[in-house]
Structures are given as structure tokens and as C-alpha cells.
Structure 1
């Protein structure tokens, strides 16, 4: 997906090439999904961190 040998086309390489040559709907969809997953993971981690602090009785600063 992100790491490949010299003959393979990785996802970032395909995304960059797609932007330069032609915009592929598939590559745009994958990029959107990756961004959404990243945002969801960051939000979940932050909510769990706040919950942990609240359960310990610590106040967020």
C-alpha cells in the first residue's frame, strides 16, 4: 500500500501521478477515505484521553 519495490506503484505515487495527469475517481475516493479514517481515529483517541482524565479526577488544562 505505502511501501513497494521498484516496479510497484504505491498508493501515494498513484495519487500524485493522478493529480498531475488525470484525476481518477478511484484515487480521489481512496484519499477521501484515508482522510476520514484519520480524523475518526484522532477524535476517538482524544475522547478516550479526556474520559481517562475525567475518571482519574484530573481537570483538563
Structure 2
């Protein structure tokens, strides 16, 4: 299964990289990875956990 990784809107072509997220076809979880290390470790979060995390991340 090929994943479509989406880079954070805070990342720019002239600035630092950030994180990327992907949602598998079955939508069972949200994958998060460091965009500077695309072959490195990934977090797999439930959609509920991801939704709880987003307001925190936006505030910081």
C-alpha cells in the first residue's frame, strides 16, 4: 500500500522541515513521521488520539 504523506503547513521550501502525516486507506490510524527522516520511525495514532492532539499542537 502506497501512502500519501502530507507535510505540515509550517514547513516551507526555504525553512526547516517538520512533520508529515498519512492516513492509510482503511482510516484505522494516522501515521506521523519526521519529514527530515522519511525512512525513520513512525507514530501510529488512533483517529481519536490525533484529533485530541491537534488543538494542543496548534496552541504551541
TM over 0.5: no
TM-score class, shorter-chain normalisation, is: under 0.3
TM norm structure 1: 0.27
TM norm structure 2: 0.28
Structure ranking higher in strand proportion: 2
Structure ranking higher in helix proportion: 1
